[in-house]
Chains A and B, each alone.
Chain A
Amino acid sequence: MRLLTHNMLSCNIKGVTNGFPLRLEVEKFVEKEVDFSAEFLRNIFPKIEWKALVDAARSMGYAELPDEADSSMLDSDDFLKKFHHALLELHLEEGALICPETGRRFPVNKGIPNMLLHEDEV
């Protein structure tokens, strides 16, 4: 699971209002090289919750992202490279996503998050 996906996931349990961002519990992560596309990064940047990305990257030991970011930074190659790496190349392979409100644990196995709810959560 890429951190882009993490950035798009919230806790889906009925009644939860503060289900984002899910905290990462990292058992195993991998880095996979992905073709660079500045255009994709520029398109997706406005949709990214920056702080969630920064924290998620840090939980995988990657601390190169600036605490704050705005669209003027998209002109910098250096910034784009780091953004690219954090967003697309760091994958959570084994671990879990934890709801910030309820503590509910959504397991991630073989890189696939399981967001399926139990009957009493829907």
Chain B
Amino acid sequence: MDPKIDVRTESSSMPSSIRTKEGDQWNSKPVSYKMYSKSAQIRLVSSHPEVYEPCDDSFALVDALLADRTNLLEHHPSLCMEVGCGSGYVITSLAIMLGQEVAGVHYIATDINPHAVQVTSETLKAHGVHAEVISTDIASGLERRLSGIVDVMVVNPPYVPTPEDEVGRDGITSAWAGGENGRRVIDRILPIADKLLSDRGWLYMVMLAANNPSQICLAMREKGYASRIIVQRSTEEESLHVVKFWRDSDIQVGAREPTTTSRTTSTTVMESLFSQFPRLAFWRNDNNSY
């Protein structure tokens, strides 16, 4: 393609990014960064001493969403939701990467930390995008009416293995404390995600090797979900995975494997997960992920 045409296409999309109307304050702020960026800008992310700042796990999740962005755009979700939005970096990035091209996507973000919802709301505003922000435990208060209508859910949960009594404490501890195997909050979120997700719903979740991802994938498989690792990244302290789950009609719901073969199944899932690694670099060509 002629690069000049590319440039013109870029600039002709300018008015649509400037046409942000959420709050008058945006009229006076430069919004041109939205043209160059498909995720939130760290310098525009608000903060508070008791709110989790964007970190390796947050970046891994946003990178996974970016890596899957073409699929997400085609998927054309109506309702996207983040559980545990913290600083708002992830939901803002999602709104930016989808918002400009897909009209009529609605975003909801929750966090149990009242400072976090405030900070998220500031971060969203600073980027000129909107999400409905709610201070609640996972999706409490939303579960009944939101059941079966969330098309995309993203979660970077508190996943660090800690003593049980650190889970759900006030303040910053609840941002990472995950109890035994780091699974306390994850294991509460999964059934709720299953309830809220629509038939075509997708879930993206950050987890550590210590959380036993293959066991999580197996548990989700029993609920009828296929899964795939979108990003795998080892930092000095942790081995991060971002796993995508989607309902697969080929998987029989509740089809528990007989105990004798469960080890085999577990191995199969592991293998299917790990066989995905070589494909990661070619995600653009991977059309059979859903």
Q: What residues of chain A have their CB less than 8 Å away from a CB belonging to chain B? A: 1-2, 4-5, 7-12, 19-20, 32-35, 37, 39-41, 43-44, 47, 49, 106, 110-117
Contacts and interface: CB of A to CB of B under 8 A. Distances in A.
B118 A110 contact: yes
B117 interface: yes
B135 A113 contact: yes
Contact of A117 (B118, B130, B140, B149): B140
Contact of B146 (A8, A106, A111): A8
Interface string B242-273: 00000000000000000000000000000000
A35 B21 contact: yes
Given A32-B22, A35-B21, A117-B140, A112 B135 contact: yes
Contact of B121 (A9, A35, A110, A117): A110
Nearest to B149: A47
Interface in B72-117: 78-79, 103-106, 108, 112, 114, 117
Contacts of B144: 10, 19-20
A99 to B, nearest CB: 10
Contacts of A44: 78-79, 106
B126 interface: no
Contacts of B146: 8
A114 to B, nearest CB: 4
Interface of B: 19, 21-23, 78-79, 103-106, 108, 112, 114, 117-118, 121, 130, 132-137, 140-146, 149
B78 A20 contact: no
Contact of A112 (B23, B104, B118, B149): B118
B108 to A, nearest CB: 7
What are the nearest 5 A-B pairs in CB distance?
Answer: A37-B104, A40-B104, A115-B141, A115-B136, A12-B141
B134 A112 contact: yes
Contacts of A2: 132
A115 B106 CA distance: 20
Nearest to A48: B145
A14 to B, nearest CB: 10
A21 B134 CA distance: 17
A41 to B, nearest CB: 8
6 contacts: A12-B143, A20-B145, A112-B135, A113-B135, A115-B135, A116-B114
B145 A8 contact: yes
Contacts of B140: 12, 115, 117
Given A12-B143, A44-B106, 10 more contacts: A2-B132, A10-B144, A35-B19, A44-B78, A110-B121, A112-B117, A113-B135, A114-B114, A116-B114, A117-B137
A63 to B, nearest CB: 24
A86 B135 CA distance: 23
A35 B103 CA distance: 8
A2 to B, nearest CB: 6
Contact of A9 (B105, B106, B114, B141): B141
Contact of A39 (B103, B137, B142): B103
Contacts of A11: 141
A106 B135 CA distance: 10
Candidate in A20, A39, A112 with the most chain B CB atoms within 10 angstroms: A112
A35 B18 CA distance: 12
B121 A111 contact: yes
A117 B145 CA distance: 18
A27 to B, nearest CB: 18
B133 A10 contact: no
Contacts of A19: 144
A7 B132 CA distance: 12
B136 A4 contact: no
A1 B136 contact: no
